[in-house]
Structure 1
Amino acid sequence: MAQGRGLYFTRSNRRYQRFISMMIKRICTALVFLLMLSAKAVAQQSADDSLKEPLKQVLSEIEARFHIQIKYDESLVKGQVVTFAKWRFRPDVDKTLNNILTPLDISFPKTGNVYKLRKFDYPRWTVEDGKQQLDYLSSLYNDVPSFEKRKYAIRACMLSTLGLSPMPKKPNSAPIITRLRQMDGYTIENVAIETLPGLYVCGSLYRPAKSKGKAPVVIAPNGHFQSGRYNKDQQKLCATLARMGAMAFSYDLFAWGESMLQFKFEDHNRSLAMSIQALNGLRIIDFLQAQKGADVNRLGITGASGGGSQTFLLSALDDRIKVSVPVVMLSCYFYGGSLSESGMPIHLCEGGTDNPELAAMFAPKPQLVVSDGKDWTANVPEIEFPYLQKVYGYYGKIDQVKNVHLANEGHDYGISKRKAMYAFMAQHLSLDIKAVEDADGNIDETKSTVEKEQALYVFGDKGERLPANAIHGFEQMQKVFNEATAIK
């Protein structure tokens, strides 16, 4: 037995040794395989690393190769790496920058020989891209029927995209109107209109002190200028129009002016602000056309910058408007830098549209485009205006669209731009421009009073007269808007 047991243990030990030997071989094989994979990964990683370069280094290489200057904020390029950097270079600098920067969501607008990098800016294209888009749009129609078909399709899409189809029901409240102020040749009343339950838009109504018959009406949405509708240019504009015989209404942008009693300033740069401003504009037209002594068949609109965006937006949406004067805003490559101008994707309607096409939707009614040489309207005489003339030509009304280009001026609604607008409105709304001219025939605005900001308030110096049902906060307003525009 002892011998047997010894033999058994010997055999058992051999089996165990064979098992251990087999396991060692398998482990070694696995280790070799893993080492090979690791070596391959390291090699691949090394290859990848050799094709990667910091963005800042790449930009320096581009500057040296193409003899250009690239400006940027350090925070924009910090930590950014370009993979396969050298493979992205092309003989053309713009194609090279596009290959390198587009995947990083960085755009590169150019001025002269200088490129300025910025975070991807969806509404700001290159001039070349804007022109190509406008050329494409122009190819979609060649006569009145084809243009009208597209026009009404775009309008329906715009209203739907803005959430205004169907239009929300109007509140039953009467407008809130402050005491009348007598000026030299005109009067002013401050007005608040409830456009949705608890949502108020405030403005000032300028009327001629004396009116022969019914007065034409001009709505003047203000732009993104300092002080909004309290701005001296905005006040002079409305006062002078009133002295010429028009009712003129200047009103706050959403979350500007007295609207900030209900909302934060940051709420202006939210997409829904675009819908609210369009709704406010349409409600203001309703209010003005209901005024005693208003001529509903002579309605004009004018605004600059963001007010220019409102001008061609409302002109495209509402056939009641008869004369349109967008100022320093019309561009084929800039759609508006605030979400209140381009946050709702109306420009994606019908396969894509742009602001010149929205302006063209006003054809064949009188339209004056005022442009300047120091902002995105610099190319209007060569690009946007000929396009408008082409569309107006379908109707045989090419003389109804005009352009005043002030090549040496910048982005404002200054006196020279107002003079052009006054003459155009006088011509097409039958206003008395002589009432505001001096002995030499020059426009004289000295009798157009610029009031202190508080004088234009509806709800008091500290908002103490804000109605009790007023909405407070964007979220509450969004809920009210959704409820009001829900299809029943």
Structure 2
Amino acid sequence: MIKRLNIVFIFLLMVPAKLFAQKSADDSLKEPLKQVLTEIEARFHVQIKYDESLVKGKIVTFAKWRFRPDADKTLNNILTPLDISFPKTGNVYKLRKFDYPRWTVEDGRQQLDYLSSLYNDVASFEKRKQAIRECVYSTLGLSPLPAKPNSKPIVTHIRQMDGYTIENVAIETLPGLYVCGSLYRPAKSKGKIPVVIAPNGHFQSGRYNKDQQKLCATLARMGAMALSYDLFAWGESTLQFKFEDHNRSLAMSIQALNGIRMIDFLLAQKNADPARLGITGASGGGSQTILLSALDDRIKASAPVVMLSCYFYGGSLSESGMPIHLCEGGTDNPELAALFAPKPQLVVSDGKDWTEHVPEIEFPYLQKVYGYYGKRDAVTNVHLANEGHDYGISKRKAVYQFMAKNLGLDLKAVQDENGNIDESKSTVENEQALYVFGDKGERLPGNAIHGFENMEQVFNQATSGNKQHN
């Protein structure tokens, strides 16, 4: 009996070895990722681009079992476990490390359809609007807003232009934290005049970019007071921080705070009309336009340019680094834009970036929400199918017309005899002319913060009573 038990025991000891041998044979089901991608290209007649470092050494288990009848589902099955995303343009996929703010078009569409199902009238949408707004403020760490420093705005000398003036300004938004801008005013004005705040985007030179300068100068010639200001850790903000600090999560909170405080500054001007405050920005400036319009009730007309998308939230942490898009079970930029309803809103889109689907996806959604208020026509879309990602003249013309209509600006003041927009009298200055603190930053205040970590400490102290949630 004992001998028989020993034989059984020895047999059982042998079983795992056999199973291991069988499992080793299963190794033939593993394939290098690079080889699998080549198979996908051949099977589905697509092109897949990637950096070699992204696929080097990566193995796909049970690769053949992950294939499906179409390329999208196949790539999803193979790449998602490896934290690799695969945005598509035409017939070409470009692999990249998992990019949380960049979805597929279909995922974005389905998310927007889901959000749209959460409300069907003004009451239900207003309830969600309030909940999202409170959550966004809290998630940014800005509920309540930190106290304003007692310092006065720093204003440079006035430069006289053709039909308008320019002066450079800096305000302190936290102790030792300064944001700089350029304020454009009509040369002549009577009574209260409209104001437009113009956060700049991630275009070369930021606030000094020629398109940004022409935008604000032309708005001033139309009768508005227009303010362009630096992104965090761009422009003169780099006197205090490294350029790389712009792509850090807290930059999103700082930019929102800077925008709100710049609105405070604008509306404090003695001839500013608080009933006629507009906002417009492109790309990263469009992200700020959407966010500030959702948060600040003082804004009366909003024009986000080349940014609104249900499947892309912005490629910089300054646009999506704080998890506001997780608020209330998940939201997206079109829903944030919808929070501006029923006030006038213009969405400018083009055919060569993530706004290419606005006419058939995002815009109908906005019209539906505006329709709850009986204001379907208050939201409009100018789609430039043959244009790309910029704040070029076609986009600016659309914004001039929108602001003229909704803020009471004089469009004729910038039209030629044939009725065409003429920006020839809007001067583009050199970068140094727009500085507040001097060519080498020699006039930067002595209490200025230096370094992101020091700024983070100041922010935490100023908001120590606030709770973040999502």
Code of the residue aligned with 1:455 in structure 2: it is A
Code of the residue aligned with 2:278 in structure 1: it is G
Of 35-44 and 118-127, deviating more is 35-44
Code of the residue aligned with 2:135 in structure 1: it is C
For 1:364-375, list aligned pairs within 5 A: 364-375=342-353
Q: Identity of paired residues, percent?
A: 86
Aligned length: 462
CA distance in 1, matches of 2:26, 2:166: 70
Aligned to 2:452: 474
Aligned to 1:198: 176
SS at match of 1:402: strand
Code of the residue aligned with 2:128 in structure 1: it is R
For 1:318-357, list aligned pairs within 5 A: 318-357=296-335
Code of the residue aligned with 1:462 in structure 2: it is K
TM-aligned CA deviation for residue 52 of structure 1: 1.1
SS at match of 1:471: coil
Cα deviation code 1:322-355 (max 9, x no counterpart): 0000000001111111000001000100000000
Aligned to 1:68: 46
For 1:376-387, list aligned pairs within 5 A: 376-387=354-365
SS at match of 1:121: coil
Cα deviation code 1:148-176 (max 9, x no counterpart): 00000000000000000011010000011
For 1:54-453, list aligned pairs within 5 A: 54-453=32-431
Aligned to 1:3: none
CA distance in 1, matches of 2:411, 2:306: 23
4+ residue runs of structure 1 moved beyond 6 angstroms?
31-35
TM-aligned CA deviation for residue 39 of structure 1: 3.7
CA distance in 1, matches of 2:161, 2:22: 80
CA distance in 2, matches of 1:362, 1:320: 11
TM-aligned CA deviation for residue 34 of structure 1: 11
SS at match of 1:245: coil
Of 462-471 and 56-65, deviating more is 56-65
TM-aligned CA deviation for residue 45 of structure 1: 4.8
CA distance in 2, matches of 1:121, 1:58: 22
CA distance in 1, matches of 2:432, 2:246: 21
SS at match of 1:171: coil
SS at match of 1:123: coil
Rg (Cα) greater in structure:
1
Aligned to 1:9: none
Of 90-99 and 41-50, deviating more is 41-50
SS at match of 2:277: strand
SS at match of 2:371: helix
TM-aligned CA deviation for residue 64 of structure 1: 2.0
SS at match of 1:284: helix
CA distance in 2, matches of 1:250, 1:243: 15
CA distance in 2, matches of 1:230, 1:332: 30
Code of the residue aligned with 1:76 in structure 2: it is L
Q: What is the TM-score with the length of structure 2 in the denominator? A: 0.95
CA distance in 1, matches of 2:161, 2:40: 62
Cα deviation code 1:249-306 (max 9, x no counterpart): 0000000000000001110000000000000000001111111111111100000000
Code of the residue aligned with 1:186 in structure 2: it is Y
Cα deviation code 1:6-52 (max 9, x no counterpart): xxxxxxxxxxxxxxxxxxx9xx99x9789847844751452342221
CA distance in 2, matches of 1:404, 1:82: 45
TM-aligned CA deviation for residue 112 of structure 1: 2.1
TM-aligned CA deviation for residue 212 of structure 1: 2.1
CA distance in 2, matches of 1:219, 1:67: 48
Q: What is the TM-score with the length of structure 1 in the denominator? A: 0.92
Code of the residue aligned with 1:159 in structure 2: it is Y
CA distance in 2, matches of 1:96, 1:146: 39
SS at match of 1:313: helix
SS at match of 1:393: helix
CA distance in 1, matches of 2:347, 2:395: 10
Higher relative contact order (CA 8 A, sep 6+): 2
Code of the residue aligned with 2:63 in structure 1: it is A
SS at match of 2:433: helix
CA distance in 2, matches of 1:347, 1:151: 13
CA distance in 2, matches of 1:234, 1:277: 18
Code of the residue aligned with 1:147 in structure 2: it is F
Cα deviation code 1:420-447 (max 9, x no counterpart): 1001100111011111111111111111
SS at match of 1:299: strand
CA distance in 2, matches of 1:397, 1:408: 29
Cα deviation code 1:70-115 (max 9, x no counterpart): 1211111110011122221222322211111001001111222222
Code of the residue aligned with 1:441 in structure 2: it is G
Structure 1 segments unaligned to the other structure (5+ residues): 1-24
CA distance in 1, matches of 2:188, 2:92: 55
Code of the residue aligned with 2:333 in structure 1: it is N
CA distance in 2, matches of 1:154, 1:168: 20
CA distance in 2, matches of 1:373, 1:342: 23
